[in-house]
């Protein structure tokens, strides 16, 4: 079962047949280097992108040169299912790490959605979840303390990676720089650095090599006020153990 299938199963039960269909979509993915745009602002994209492996993000650049990251893609995520309706992109999508990416013509996706209603529902579910994540980021960035914000983001990434079986029980490999984190959280990189030190000293998280761990996951979740309901995951029989 592909990563994309694993993710979609959290939203909609899919028959073995449907799963095979989704799996076949992502064969022949190509490798894209780190820090490369998949879609640039101003493009009129004709392809849906599936991130099979690696981390990518949506971002906006402001006139002042500042960057805001307004979305994170982890393995299994699908970018812009309904692309092609809007015309010109008002932001860009770029890789963070090296990624395995499959480009799919949007007509192909639309044909599939017509042919296979469960897949249509699964894809629509995933866009609704994306919207929910956006709302949660807005909430968290606007109303939580900066230490809680960082911890909340880590909890979210952990939950999303767990859904596609890319995380350990108490941590995951974090490929984001402190500057990436800052641009997601609306903070300065320097402040991210200092707050991270506090989180480590309080053992809310630990960091070794590239792994971020929660010594006490319950405690971190409570600290971050993390409630995963906004991810709308229905743990399914047949999913990852």
Of 4, 122, 196, 233, which lies in the binding site for DNA, with binding defined by CB under 7 A? 196
- Please tell me whether residue 82 binds a copy of itself under the rule CB under 8 A: yes
- The site partner of 97 among DNA, a copy of itself, none (C-beta below 5 to 8 Å per kind) is none
| Positive or negative torsion for Cα 112, 117, 118, 122 | positive
In the complex with DNA, the residue whose CB is nearer, 124 or 193, is 193
- Please tell me whether residue 87 binds a copy of itself under the rule CB under 8 A: yes
Calpha distance 11→3 (Å, rounded)? 14
In the complex, what is the shortest distance from the CB of residue 182 to DNA, in angstroms, rounded to a whole number?
A: 7
- The site partner of 121 among a copy of itself, DNA, none (C-beta below 5 to 8 Å per kind) is a copy of itself
Name which of residues 54 to 73 contact a copy of itself (CB under 8 A).
58, 60, 62-63, 66-68, 70-71
Calpha distance 179→191 (Å, rounded)? 10
Q: How many helices (H) and strands (E) does the chain have?
A: 8, 11
In the complex with a copy of itself, the residue whose CB is nearer, 121 or 236, is 121
Measured in whole angstroms, the distance separating CA 146 from the mean position of its chain's CA atoms is 21
Q: Note the maximum CA span of the chain.
A: 54
Place of tokens 């592909």: 2
- Please tell me whether residue 67 binds DNA under the rule CB under 7 A: no
Q: Applying CB under 7 A, which part among 6-14, 37-45, 118-126, 185-193 lies near DNA? A: 185-193
CB 172, CB 212: distance < 8 Å:
yes
Could you give phi then psi for residue 7, rounded to 5 degrees? -65, -50
CB 66, CB 179: distance < 8 Å:
no
- Please tell me whether residue 13 binds a copy of itself under the rule CB under 8 A: no
Q: How many residues bind DNA (CB under 7 A)?
A: 18
- The site partner of 125 among a copy of itself, DNA, none (C-beta below 5 to 8 Å per kind) is a copy of itself
- Please tell me whether residue 197 binds DNA under the rule CB under 7 A: yes
- Please tell me whether residue 177 binds DNA under the rule CB under 7 A: yes
CB 30, CB 36: distance < 8 Å:
no
In the complex, what is the shortest distance from the CB of residue 100 to a copy of itself, in angstroms, rounded to a whole number?
A: 25
């Amino acid at each position: 079962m592909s990563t994309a299938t694993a993710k979609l199963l959290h939203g909609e039960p899919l028959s073995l047949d449907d799963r095979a269909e989704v799996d076949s979509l992502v064969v022949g993915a190509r490798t894209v280097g780190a820090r490369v745009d998949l879609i640039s602002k101003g493009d009129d994209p004709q392809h849906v992108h599936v991130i099979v492996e690696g981390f990518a993000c949506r971002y906006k650049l402001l006139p002042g040169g500042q960057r805001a990251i307004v979305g994170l893609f982890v393995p299994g995520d699908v970018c812009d299912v309904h692309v092609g309706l809007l015309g010109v992109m008002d932001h860009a999508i770029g890789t963070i790490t090296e990624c395995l990416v499959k480009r799919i013509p949007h007509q192909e996706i639309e044909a599939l959605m017509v042919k296979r209603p469960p897949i249509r529902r699964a894809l629509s579910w995933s866009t609704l979840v994306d919207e929910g994540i956006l709302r949660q980021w807005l909430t968290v960035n606007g109303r939580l303390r900066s230490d809680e914000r960082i911890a909340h983001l880590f909890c979210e990434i952990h939950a999303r990676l767990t859904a596609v079986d890319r995380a350990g029980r108490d941590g995951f490999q974090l490929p984001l720089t402190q500057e990436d984190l800052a641009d997601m959280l609306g903070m300065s990189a320097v402040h991210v650095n200092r707050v991270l030190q506090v989180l480590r000293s309080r053992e809310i998280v630990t960091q070794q090599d590239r792994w971020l761990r929660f010594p006490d996951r319950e405690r971190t979740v409570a600290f971050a006020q993390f409630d995963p309901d906004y991810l709308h995951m229905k743990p399914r029989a047949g999913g990852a153990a």
